Amino acid sequence: MENQCIQILFFIALILLSLDCTALHTISANIEIKDGKTLVSEGEMFELGFFSPGKSKNRYLGIWYKKISYGTVVWVANRETPITDRSGVLKLSRRGNLVILSGRNPVVWSSNSVVSVGSNNPVVVQLLDTGNLVVRNKSSLIWQSFDYPCDTYLPGMKFGKDLVTGLQRFLTSWKSPNDPAIGEYRNTHDTNGYPQSLGWHGEVLLARLGPWNGLGFSGFPIEKENQIYTAEFVMNEKEIYHTYELKTSVVQRIVLTWDGQTLFLHWIERIKDWIVYANALVDACDRFSLCGPYGICSINKHPPCTCMKGFEPRNPEEWEASDWASGCIRKKPLDCVNGYGVGDGFWKIARVKVPDTRRSWYSVSMTLGECEMACRSNCSCTGYSSLDIRNGGSGCLLWLDELLDTREYDVDQDIYIRMAASELQGLVGSQSDFHKFKEILIVVLLVSSSASVLLAVAYVYRKIQKQPHIKRPGKWSVHDEKIEHLDDLQFFSLYEVDRATGNFSVLNKIGEGGFGPVYKGVLEDGREIAVKRLSETSQQGLDEFRNEVNCIAKLQHRNLVKLLGYCINQNELILVYEYMPNKSLDRSMILNWPQRFNIIHGIARGILYLHQDSRLQIIHRDLKAGNILLDGDMDPKISDFGLARKFVGHDTTSKTKKVVGTYGYISPEYALHGHFSIKSDVFSFGVLLLEIISGMKNREFTHRDHRDNLLGHAWRMYREGRSIELMNISLQASCVASEVLRSIHVALLCVQHHAEDRPTMLSVVLMLVSEGALPEPKHPAFFSEESFRELESLPSVDKCTITLLYAR
């Protein structure tokens, strides 16, 4: 009997020991978690326990990542009441109140959540794999940490206001990296007027994402084809909030840092670190009301602030001194009479981040026409817009005060500003009347003055051929078209460039492009430079020069080549760039897989910046190995913006009769029909990606068993489950097979025949760094020699175009 008791006690001891060693994700009432013990989510994604941040010795109860990025804290309970020793204990009461106890201070923190408890409905506390700490019973959720966010916004969180309880969910920064107490910065969802997201420093409004417009925030649009996460805005009688959910296994968090930055972060398993995917504040126009009332900000202009149509600077002297805070005032007063604006009209400003909506009124059911009538009938109404821009627009948003914080933006949202009829008459009545007038005027001028125009053009052309191109640095123009942004670049004298390149010595010549020859040079201060000199025989030199300056001068990214300055002297047109010692990708030395994978990522990030983050929105149109330069660290730099084009909006597709680019990299819709878009660049990137992996050119690829090009060969290997055979044999010793296979899969998604099937560069970047499942690719375009011959035989393809394609 005694032996049996000993065995039973020993068995119980083993169970207790195993419970103590096993990670718990749920505890019941009166079970304690002492300092040194933790609660782990079921999938081991998150862990809860006591910790000391940074260099601090204070103890806090927090939640951090466990499976990845161990120790990255996403939530803190006792932010304002730290424990100075290791006596802290987390405990759940029978009534559902979660408390932190300490020896010196019995109640350090409490969730203040209580519920009537029955014997058959016990409460438990559980840490979920979403990072949410919940207190619940069988019938209901009693309390959750997601309702009380700190500095981190996780997928599944609600960011906004509960209209029933009055609970506000917003982000607050840490005081410092060593102190999680509430800091100086906060991001809130303001529900005054039409709801919008605001960023604060103390009581100073720093930035505004703007209201939800059906597709995204007016000042931070969400990509329509986003394959990584879905965003949602909910507004009803009970709550107003927005949230997001991940579609893939990519791990994402949004953090308000202690110094006030709102960063979108992704975990990269390959490098075991977080990368900044986006920053809520990108440029000067993101500063709240930089241009004051009735001012409009454009990052593509210098200076960035201008007054809206019908307005002028309130204080011209301050405006000239680049102090735009006082904004603009009306040139002519409104004609509103007896509460009804009979004499007023509206001027449309297209593609904007709409003004501050805290003094606004809205209706979800009104049409845009009804919205205009509502604004016209209220003398306090200063402008109106659609509430939801989807499907042509719906709903009504009225502004009842000065229009603040408006900027030009890449979103399909317009605003109609109120203006006196007498002012509109000076603008030809309305925009539609103006366009009709302009069309009629053009026709009349063409018919009546064609001979005079031709003579004038011929005269101007002869004068341009004979006269120097420049009167003074920074103001040169071609055919009376001013080049933008020269004032932002350094002007080099011809003497400086000549001396740097050894009088353009043939020994310093390092390349030749459509623009002309490229030389290496060394400035007096020792800086190495690359000098592009316009060739006298160049057919596209003037256009390329204008494009290079207008596009790249305002672009700043680690994966774009940097334009340092220019030189214009008589007939000389010269561009000066930073020098890339490792030349271009097609002339580089043998690269191992880590170097190639780094180059792939760098190119993808550079294109993403051009398409989305630069605000200029650029389609490169000539992405190829020869236009990818490598710096001293073998980091890639996209170059040659001579063929680039600006675009507006994510779905914009342009058409041209002059197809330019490099055969083998051009998408089918561009080659066949002249249609180009961001998906044209995606196609080129896919080709480039396959070339980097295989070490072979698409157009030069041959195989003894078939006549497919590189795209067709990659497609054949993928369907046969032999994609790894596409990899260059020199990479066998350094490759990571999973990275190679994933890169090939992504490349095939990029070169699919139909543009709408191809991912955006945002999705490409995230697919390259994630480990989730990828969609199945469809067959690529131009994957055999026969398809190329069919292309060349099509009557719709200009023979000059084909010649140009081969020539580049």
512-538 pLDDT, tens digit each: 876 778 999 999 889 999 998 876 655
Say if CB 558 and CB 598 are below 8 A apart. Answer: no
**Residue-by-residue DSSP string for 556-573:** --TTBPPEEEEEEETTEE
Scanning 208-263, the segments in alpha helix (DSSP H) are: none
**Of the candidate ranges 386-400, 415-429, 431-445, 708-722, the one whose mean pLDDT is the lowest:** 431-445
Which comes out higher in pLDDT, residue 334 or 745?
Answer: 745
Write down the mean pLDDT value for the chain.
82
Say if CB 95 and CB 104 are below 8 A apart. Answer: no
Say if CB 404 and CB 382 are below 8 A apart. Answer: no
Helix (H, G, I), strand (E, B) or coil at 800: helix
How far apart CA 55 and CA 77 sit, in angstroms, is 19
Q: What does the pLDDT read at residue 783?
A: 53
Query: Cβ neighbours of residue 783 under 8 Å, at least 6 residues apart?
Result: 708, 709, 711, 712, 715
Give the model confidence (pLDDT) of 258-288 as tens digits.
Answer: 999 999 998 988 788 898 878 888 788 999 9
pLDDT greater than 60 at residue 454: no
Which pair of structure tokens corresponds to residue 779? 């067959």
Say if CB 493 and CB 531 are below 8 A apart. Answer: no
What is the β-pairing status of strands 328-330 and 406-408?
Answer: unpaired
Which pair of structure tokens corresponds to residue 612? 């989305």
Neighbours of 737 (CB within 10 A): 12
Q: What does the pLDDT read at residue 772?
A: 73
Which pair of structure tokens corresponds to residue 76? 């803190």
How far apart CA 300 and CA 698 sit, in angstroms, is 37
Query: Cβ neighbours of residue 155 under 8 Å, at least 6 residues apart?
Result: 130, 229, 243, 244, 245, 246, 252
pLDDT greater than 80 at residue 177: yes
Per the omega criterion (within 30 degrees of 0), is the bond before 594 cis? no
**Neighbour-count burial of 536, counting CB atoms closer than 10 A to its CB (0-12 exposed, 13-18 middle, 19+ buried):** exposed
Q: What does the pLDDT read at residue 672?
A: 79
Query: Cβ neighbours of residue 599 under 8 Å, at least 6 residues apart?
Result: 585, 591, 628, 630, 634, 635, 636, 692
pLDDT greater than 70 at residue 452: no
How far apart CA 606 and CA 621 sit, in angstroms, is 14
Which residues are registered as beta bridge partners of 362?
Answer: 397
E strands present in 600-733: 618-619, 628-630, 636-638, 645-646, 654-655, 675-676
Question: CA 179: distance to chain centroid?
Answer: 31
**Residue-by-residue DSSP string for 702-739:** -BTTB-B-HHHHHHHHHHTT-GGGGS-GGGTTT--HHH
Which CATH code is given to the segment(s) 477-578?
3.30.200.20
The position carrying tokens 């592009």 is 532
| Domain 585-807: which CATH number of 1.10.510.10, 2.30.30.90, 3.40.1050.10, 1.10.1580.10 | 1.10.510.10
Q: What does the pLDDT read at residue 373?
A: 86
pLDDT greater than 50 at residue 357: yes
Neighbours of 435 (CB within 10 A): 11
**Of the candidate ranges 207-221, 255-269, 646-660, the one whose mean pLDDT is the lowest:** 646-660
Each as own residue / partner, the long-range contacts of residues 333-338 (CB below 8 Å, 24 or more positions apart, any chain) are 333/420, 334/379, 334/418, 334/419, 334/420, 335/420, 335/421, 335/422, 336/379
E strands present in 292-382: 295-297, 305-307, 311-313, 328-330, 344-349, 352-353, 360-363
Q: What does the pLDDT read at residue 654?
A: 62
**Average pLDDT for 417-442:** 61
**Average pLDDT for 444-449:** 42
Q: What does the pLDDT read at residue 119?
A: 58
How far apart CA 101 and CA 93 sit, in angstroms, is 12
Helix (H, G, I), strand (E, B) or coil at 622: coil
**Average pLDDT for 109-133:** 86
H/E stretch holding 769 = helix 761-769
pLDDT greater than 90 at residue 583: no
Q: Do domains 20-148 and 585-807 have the same CATH topology?
A: no
How far apart CA 310 and CA 328 sit, in angstroms, is 10
How far apart CA 439 and CA 436 sit, in angstroms, is 5
Which comes out higher in pLDDT, residue 545 or 110?
Answer: 110
- Rounded CA Rg of the chain: 31
Give the model confidence (pLDDT) of 536-570 as tens digits.
Answer: 655 555 667 777 777 777 787 889 998 898 888 87
Which residues are registered as beta bridge partners of 347?
Answer: 417
Which pair of structure tokens corresponds to residue 295? 């001012």
Give the C-alpha distances (Å, rounded to integers) separating 695 from 56, 495, 516, 527, 649: 51, 42, 28, 32, 35
**Average pLDDT for 594-602:** 94
**Of the candidate ranges 141-155, 181-195, 439-453, the one whose mean pLDDT is the lowest:** 439-453
Q: What does the pLDDT read at residue 673?
A: 78
Identify the DSSP state of 551.
I
Scanning 132-234, the segments in alpha helix (DSSP H) are: none
Q: Does domain 20-148 have CATH number 2.90.10.10?
A: yes
pLDDT greater than 60 at residue 587: yes
Give the model confidence (pLDDT) of 67-86 as tens digits.
Answer: 899 999 999 999 999 999 99
How far apart CA 520 and CA 581 sit, in angstroms, is 10
Say if CB 61 and CB 36 are below 8 A apart. Answer: no
Which pair of structure tokens corresponds to residue 524? 């007096």
Q: What does the pLDDT read at residue 8?
A: 45
**Residue-by-residue DSSP string for 487-525:** GGSEE--HHHHHHHTTTT-GGGEEEE-SS-EEEEEE-TT
Say if CB 628 and CB 603 are below 8 A apart. Answer: yes
Query: Cβ neighbours of residue 220 under 8 Å, at least 6 residues apart?
Result: 209, 210, 280
Residue 591: φ, ψ to 5°: -115, 140
Candidates 77, 49, 68, 62; CA nearest to 253 is 68
Domain ranges of the chain: 20-148, 149-282, 286-427, 477-578, 585-807
Which pair of structure tokens corresponds to residue 15? 């169970």
Give the model confidence (pLDDT) of 770-805 as tens digits.
Answer: 777 889 999 897 655 444 444 444 433 333 333 233
Catalytic residues: 622
**Average pLDDT for 223-247:** 85
Instruction: Please name the fold of domain 149-282.
Output: Agglutinin, subunit A (2.90.10)
What is the β-pairing status of strands 204-211 and 141-144?
Answer: unpaired
pLDDT greater than 50 at residue 456: no
**Average pLDDT for 157-175:** 94
How far apart CA 777 and CA 764 sit, in angstroms, is 13
Which pair of structure tokens corresponds to residue 367? 């049409």
Say if CB 346 and CB 366 are below 8 A apart. Answer: no
pLDDT greater than 90 at residue 190: yes
Say if CB 672 and CB 797 are below 8 A apart. Answer: yes
pLDDT category of residue 473 using cuts at 50, 70 and 90: very low
Candidates 420, 415, 309; CA nearest to 368 is 415
Give the model confidence (pLDDT) of 721-775 as tens digits.
Answer: 999 999 998 898 899 999 999 999 999 999 999 999 999 888 898 888 777 788 9
Q: What does the pLDDT read at residue 671?
A: 79
Candidates 724, 373, 756, 301; CA nearest to 554 is 301
pLDDT greater than 80 at residue 432: no
Which comes out higher in pLDDT, residue 555 or 223?
Answer: 555
Identify the DSSP state of 784.
B
Query: Cβ neighbours of residue 545 under 8 Å, at least 6 residues apart?
Result: 478, 483, 515, 534, 573, 575, 642
How far apart CA 518 and CA 527 sit, in angstroms, is 16
Residue 238: φ, ψ to 5°: -100, -35
Read off the amino acid at residue 736.
V
Q: What does the pLDDT read at residue 242?
A: 94
